[in-house]
Amino acid sequence: MSETSHPAEPHVGSVSSKLNWLRAGVLGANDGIVSTAGIVVGVAAATVDRAPILTAGIAGLAAGAVSMALGEYVSVSTQRDTEQALLTKELQELRDDPAAELDELATLYEGKGLSPATARTVAEELTDHNPFLAHAEVELGIDPDELTNPWQAAVSSAVSFTVGALLPLIVILAPPAAWRVPATVVAVLLALVLTGAVSAGLGGAPQGRAVLRNVIGGGLALAVTYAIGHLVGAAIA
């Protein structure tokens, strides 16, 4: 079947990039759920007053969102700078010695399994079309037109973390004092089942194992923070 028969079919690289973004968003929400739940459950173990719980939850949400955004911005900026440096170097090599770069491109295609003659033909045709793009994709594995935007990554991380953090913050404030911690634990564990399943599904991994890891890790975090809050609350009472 010819390629032209599917004009709306997405490119594999584009789909993979979008799936990675979705998975990062789910993981960001997961972090927001666990970290904020740990904070509010710990404070709820020490006091029944809503004000300290709300204050700690909002502070944790804000600090976590900013931290996630800053970390993602720095990480993606570093990656982007590295990719741009590699692209600049490749462009200079194409200008300085195009013949050697053509030989290198042909060798790369031979390494992918093409015969020497076919690899040479492919390299020549791609070089005639766009030598820079050909080398960037095959030699460096980089698409110059799809470099990751650090601001987009930062905003995405902050938003996903905030969305996840709102769940335990809302749940722990809604019920009476005696039900706050149990209701939050149930809501958080159910949310972790969902985020674990979605994350594994997007990554193509077994969902059962991912869900189990997620729930055990989140449950352990809640247990530890609750115990610490209870002990500190008893000590300062």
Q: What is the pLDDT of residues 64-117, one digit of tens each?
A: 999 999 988 998 899 888 888 888 888 888 888 888 888 787 888 877 888 888
In this predicted structure, what is the pLDDT of residue 10?
44
Contact indicator for 194, 63 with CB cutoff of 8 Å: no
Q: What is the pLDDT of residues 105-144, one digit of tens each?
A: 788 887 788 888 887 887 788 788 888 887 777 777 777 7
- Report whether pLDDT(17) > 70: no
Contact indicator for 184, 172 with CB cutoff of 8 Å: yes
Mean pLDDT, to the nearest integer, of 146-172? 89
**pLDDT band for position 21 (cuts 50, 70, 90):** low
| Residue ranges covered by each domain of the chain | 13-82+149-236
One DSSP character per residue, 67-87 reads: HHHHHHHHHHHHHHHHHHHHH
Burial class (CB in 10 A: 0-12, 13-18, 19+), 58: middle
Cα 160 → chain centroid: 10
Q: What is the pLDDT of residues 210-222, one digit of tens each?
A: 889 889 999 999 9
